[in-house]
Amino acid sequence: MSKPLHSSVKPSLIVRSLQPENQETPIQFINGDTIDPNLFYRRNHFSYPLLTSSNYWLPINGSVEIPRLFSMQEILNIPSKMIKLVLECSGDKRGLFEPKVFGEQWQKGAISQGYWKGVPLRALLELTGIKKGAKEVVVEGFDYGKRTDSDQVYSFSRSLPLDKALHPDTIIAYEYNNQPIPLKHGFPLRLIVPQWYAMASVKWIKQIRVIESEFQGPFQVIDYVYYPNRENNIDTLPVTTINVNSTIQKPLDREVLTTGFHFINGIAWTGNGVIIKVEVSTDGGKSWSDAKITNQKKGNYEWISWTFEWPALEKGEYTIMTKATDSFNRTQPASPFWNRKGYGYNSVDKIKIKIE
């Protein structure tokens, strides 16, 4: 008469806000090699623009030799490349800062991974040519609206310095995981900037402009800037490269477990180089052991998965911590680099569990 009900339990995103839509992935479901579109975190500043590809043209203008309008067909005719990479919101883990900061209170799930296919931005810029005084490439999205700090309407626009724009792996993508890019993730074209936090990977590209100055848009010079001081704007730094980081996916924080052997699992990633070591502590940081890295990365921009078998033989409360180190010897700090807008949190990951 009674049997377990299987398979009807489906994971879904965790809502942070609906207008604009901001939702994150429950970390226990980041277990695959790539994230399905339905579990891909969503981070927006404005309403979704609704675009069709039938009449889509990509303009490239500004400080170029020949301004051009590229049709989708022209773009599809250029040799493509596929890149597997981590996209992490620079506000990922913002909710963990102490003292707390304002803005979306992301926990640990504003991160994703998948295959993006498209053409190098460099290939398009070779077709337009770049003038001598060129300094930055501004990519504008179709999403726009009012910010809380101004009455003006802005589109979401970001610039890249020329060397990053011309990097062969900086692509104008048209497919995600072998499908057209989902509407909520940038259809029909999205800039993909490996190694940088995901604000750089502008969605729904409207136009690309080469400029001879430093771009001053609010998403460049107000947001996505590290402000180390609460009360002033001294010593600021732009948010760019992803910090070395790790997340414990299992067990969950504050979980109660039985005595016995448990697997502690998670992921680790970095914006520069590759992860070479993940250490785990089950005694609150007094001692550390190496976790086993269970997948060897094929590309340079992927997260690694790690696991650690823990003999939890004594009842009690345990603080479990993880610390990743990358090939540039960068490692996760014991306490986060606090900044007023809450970007780039990468302190040692920490959960507390109870064995009973």
Of 119, 178, 255, 281, the one binding its own copies by CB under 8 A: 255
Decide: 256 and 225 in contact? Cβ < 8 Å: no
342, burial (CB in 10 Å: exposed 0-12, middle 13-18, buried 19+): buried
- The reply on whether position 3 binds its own copies by CB under 8 A is yes
Residue written as tokens 């490239």? 60
Site for its own copies in 291-310 (CB under 8 A): none
Closest to its own copies by CB, 12 or 213: 12
Nearest to 53 by CA among 144, 207, 189, 182: 189
Chain position carrying tokens 């009449």: 55
Binding of its own copies at residue 221 (CB under 8 A)?
no
Sequence-separated (6 or more) residues with CB below 8 Å from residue 240? 196, 197, 200
Structure tokens that stand for 219 in this block: 């998403």
Residue 1 C-beta: closest distance to its own copies, Å: 7
DSSP assignment, residue 96? G
Answer for the pair 312, 355: CB distance below 8 angstroms, yes or no: yes
> For its own copies, which residue of 66, 79, 98, 102 counts as binding (CB under 8 A)?
102
Among 74, 104, 123, 154, binds its own copies (CB under 8 A): 104
**Smaller CB separation from its own copies, 55 or 296:** 55
Residue 7 tokens, joined: 């398979």
| Smallest gap from residue 6 Cβ to its own copies (A) | 8
**Position 48 contacts its own copies (CB under 8 A):** yes
248 is a contact residue toward its own copies (CB under 8 A): no
Among positions 69, 76, 256, 334, the unique one binding its own copies when judged by CB under 8 A: 256
- Tokens representing 242 are 């992803």
Q: Angle at Cα 178 formed by Cα 176 and Cα 179, nearest 5°?
A: 70
- Please, which residue, 85 or 138, has the CB nearer to its own copies? 138
Instruction: Yes or no: say if 39 and 113 are a contact pair by the CB < 8 Å rule.
Output: no
Least distance in angstroms from the C-beta of 95 to its own copies: 8
Nearest-angstrom CA–CA distance, 7 and 27: 19
Q: By CB under 8 A, name the one of 32, 100, 232, 238 that touches its own copies.
A: 100
Residue 258 interacting with its own copies (CB under 8 A): yes
Q: Does 21 bind its own copies (CB under 8 A)?
A: yes
Query: Cβ 124 to its own copies, closest distance in Å?
Result: 20
Binding-site member from 41, 70, 116, 142 for its own copies (CB under 8 A): 142
Answer for the pair 306, 292: CB distance below 8 angstroms, yes or no. Answer: yes
* Residue range at the interface with its own copies (CB under 8 A); choices 17-25, 61-69, 114-122, 262-270: 17-25
Residue in 194, 120, 87, 206 with CA at minimum distance from that of residue 157: 206
Nearest to 250 by CA among 267, 236, 237: 267
Distance CA(281)–CA(269), nearest Å, equals 18
Position among 31, 32, 33, 47 found at the interface with its own copies (CB under 8 A): 47
Residue 284 interacts with its own copies (CB under 8 A): yes or no: no
The only residue of 72, 134, 221, 257 in contact with its own copies, by rule CB under 8 A: 257
SS3 of residue 191 by DSSP: strand
Q: State the minimum distance, in angstroms, from the CB of residue 146 to its own copies.
A: 8
**Site for its own copies (CB under 8 A): which residue of 183, 225, 274, 276?**
183
Query: Cα–Cα distances in Å, from 74 out to 62, 79, 124, 127, 263?
Result: 20, 10, 10, 11, 50
Residues at the contact surface with its own copies, assessed by CB under 8 A:
1-5, 8-9, 11-19, 21, 26, 28-29, 47-52, 55, 100-105, 142, 148-149, 183, 204, 206, 252-258, 317, 352-354, 356
